[in-house]
Amino acid sequence: MTTPLELPVLFLHDQVAPPGMTLPIALDDEARAAVDAARAAGSEQLLLAPRIDDTYPTVGAIATIEQVGRMPNGGPAAVLRATDRARIGRGVAGPGAALWVEAEVIEPSEPTERTHELATDYKRLVVATLKQRNAWQVIDHVESTTDPHALADLAGWAPYLTPQQRNQLLAEPDVDRRLETLITWTGDHLAEQEVSDKIATDVREGMEKNQREFLLRQQLDAIRKELGENEPEGADDYRSRVEAADLPDTVREAALREVGKLERSSEQSPEGGWIRTWLDTVLELPWNEKTSDRTDITAAREVLDADHYGLDDVKDRIVEYLAVRARRAERGLEVIGGRGSGAVLALVGPPGVGKTSLGESVARALDRKFVRVALGGVRDEAEIRGHRRTYVGALPGRIVRAIKEAGSMNPVVLLDEIDKVGSDFRGDPAAALLEVLDPAQNHTFRDHYLELDLDLSDVVFIATANTLETVPSALLDRMELVALDGYTDNEKVAIAETHLLPRQLERAALTTEDVTIDESALREMAGDYTREAGMRQMERLIGKILRKVATNLATGTAEPPVQVTEDDLVGYLGRPRFTPESVERTAVPGVATGLAVTGMGGDVLFIEAARPAARADSSEDMAGEPHLILTGQLGDVMKESAQIALSYLRAHGSEHGIDTSALTGPIHLHVPAGATPKDGPSAGVTMVTAFASLATGHPVRSEVGMTGEVTLNGRVLPIGGVKQKLLAAQRAGLTTVFIPKRNEPDLDDVPDEVRDALDIRPVSDVADIIAAVLEDAATHSTHDAA
């Protein structure tokens, strides 16, 4: 027999806490006294005694104080967890103002085979009850409970049990009798609930159906009366419309089959609504409608040149397309529904270079309809291919809707932001675009909603993207890539004068008689106020200047004409935001200037290396193995480049007059800005140069930038984005740039003014870079003295 425990009592009014229940208790005077007494005794335990109908309880639950704190409303509270049943004995003396009693723990009996059978039956009833309430998380908890005692005590949470019933269960020590009682009560509740739900469902469905049908029929009759239509549109009307429409033979046959289904279906059948919607969609598509292409090639090129400055690659491709189509038409070689007669272009470049607006210019040059399909954030495959007709609210995909919106079968369709397409459990929209953008397959494109072959071979698809990293390679293989790498300062000034300034003058309700902006001011804005590949920020600054001029003219502080010069920019725009920083950043050894490409275009990258002081407790390898610390949110490829660069110098540094002992111990490599993730192998030569500068103590020449992947033997491997990197080098004020020897053919795409402004040196060995870019000690001392 167990020794009785002496515990403070906390009475629960109209509430029962069986073992296993955790409950919060508001601390009124009585509850606070019991909790304080339990904590003062050091046991952190008290007895929860239910007071039901004001009767004195004989059985309670021993509870442990889990936490003391406050309720959301600020009132004091405690969280208690009931652990064991206990018989309540005589009162005893105890500390504090609480009532103390003796409590004898009721040990749970060993479950028998019958106990497990009863537990299984009760669990089945509880799960059925919870399914009616859609309490799936609670079902998982019940299913995972295997102890019959714990399962029976879960009834303390049952909302359909009264406090008296819960108290009866608490007072019953035998688990078999508790389970038998619970099976009876739960079965009665389940049967009563099923009857109530069935009655309520039948009544609600009957009333809603009758009321809805009556209301809709009354409204339909009133609408027809107002329109003067005595007979509703039925299958006969659709049959006549299909027969009168200009449809291909296969489409007409499919449409007439659906009309036959409509004739055989009743008006109340939901299938009739699906068929009508499908027939309306088919009849609205321009199956045999096409616009005539512009045959004047010179005029088409003039349209492209008038809308956009530069971008010769894409303009040449469109003119070539027009020239081939004109010759085929001249020789009678055009075939309706032929393969590969359309064009699929992918314009890739940083934001603001004119990719989206170029699609409208192409449509104007071809004299075709234009429609834009925004793909940014699309994650559902059905957005491209359409939904099956069996789904409620099914619609055709965006491609079919674009053709319907254009009103012709040969529009220019701009697939905007194709690199922002996502994928999830609903499918991969990029994979659905494979058939759309394949010139050898899209003459039989099949939308899930239409289930008819749609000829897209004469559509000019133009896709735009900021980066190719997120575009699947299979999709890229189906498109002709045209890179728009950004504009030089001269091009920016020309675009600002011919396009941006006239547009902003119109928006500000100004004319050239009111205000002019000098070319020198535009050049200063392009060089020191914006450092971007595109033109969006440049246009914003022009708009800002014109708004200030309009304000000055309205307030009388200025008289027309206002001439904005380079010296006036500080007053209109503030101080320049971008100034050359290469001299300052590379003034100390261990810093080298690299070149990178981001989604926003080319940029310079300062790579910093330093030797932190070794700790006294450091367990550094006695063989001199360095501990390389990498920071700056570097990707795996860039981290490997750092390891390769350090290994190369430790193996071959002595060949270049570098003391490799300076590269032992901990070395820290950091690539600002630390908040921007970075990855790729093209910073390899820059890391080698930074480590070499650190080891020799000679800083890197401030006017030098470099890019290239490096191997363990010092070979410089080719990289991508040469044009964008050289444009960034020019913007940053660099004068000498080292690039891989195998990237020398890429210089043909670089504008002449950039090649003239930069001393571009192709190299195949990183040793050539080290020998050329490190300042000697004398020069460095002179710089320090200066």
Catalytic residues: 682, 725
Which among 104, 85, 106 has a CA at the least distance from the CA of 19? 85
User: Judging by DSSP bridges, how do beta strands 628-631 and 667-670 pair with one another?
Assistant: parallel
Residues contacting 780, CB < 8 A, separation 6+: 697, 698, 699
534 among the known binding-site residues?
A: no
For residue 290 the two structure tokens come to: 């096409």
354 among the known binding-site residues?
A: yes
349 among the known binding-site residues?
A: yes
Task: To the nearest 10°, report the CA torsion of 629, 632, 636, 642.
Answer: -50
* Chain CA centroid to CA 278, Å: 34
Residue 718 and residue 686 in contact, taking contact as beta carbons nearer than 8 Å: no
Planar angle of CA 472, 413, 279, nearest 5 degrees: 105
Q: Tell me the CA distances in angstroms from 780 to 653, 660, 700, 701, 768, one per residue in order.
A: 21, 21, 10, 10, 20
Cα–Cα distance measured from residue 468 to residue 460, given in angstroms and rounded to the nearest whole number: 21
**N residues, the chain:** 786
Orientation angle between helical segments 113-132 and 175-227, nearest 10 degrees: 20
Cα–Cα distance measured from residue 420 to residue 749, given in angstroms and rounded to the nearest whole number: 27
Orientation angle between helical segments 163-171 and 175-227, nearest 10 degrees: 150
Region for 260 from its dihedrals, namely left if φ exceeds 0, alpha if ψ lies in -120 to 50, beta otherwise: alpha
- Buried (b) or exposed (e) across 633-658, using 16+ Cβ within 10 A? ebeeebeebbebbbebbbebbeebeb
Residue 543 and residue 504 in contact, taking contact as beta carbons nearer than 8 Å: yes
| 420 HSE (CA, 13 A, CB side) | 13
Residue 65 and residue 86 in contact, taking contact as beta carbons nearer than 8 Å: no
Cα–Cα distance measured from residue 549 to residue 8, given in angstroms and rounded to the nearest whole number: 82
N- to C-terminal Cα distance for the chain? Answer: 95
352 among the known binding-site residues?
A: yes
Region for 559 from its dihedrals, namely left if φ exceeds 0, alpha if ψ lies in -120 to 50, beta otherwise: beta
Cα–Cα distance measured from residue 540 to residue 525, given in angstroms and rounded to the nearest whole number: 11
3-state SS track over 106-145: CCCCCCCHHHHHHHHHHHHHHHHHHHHCCCHHHHHHHHHC
590 among the known binding-site residues?
A: no
For residue 645 the two structure tokens come to: 């660069």
For residue 280 the two structure tokens come to: 């309306």
486 among the known binding-site residues?
A: no
Planar angle of CA 105, 111, 113, nearest 5 degrees: 165
Planar angle of CA 768, 586, 674, nearest 5 degrees: 105
Annotated binding site for ATP: 349-356
Which positions make up the binding site?
349-356
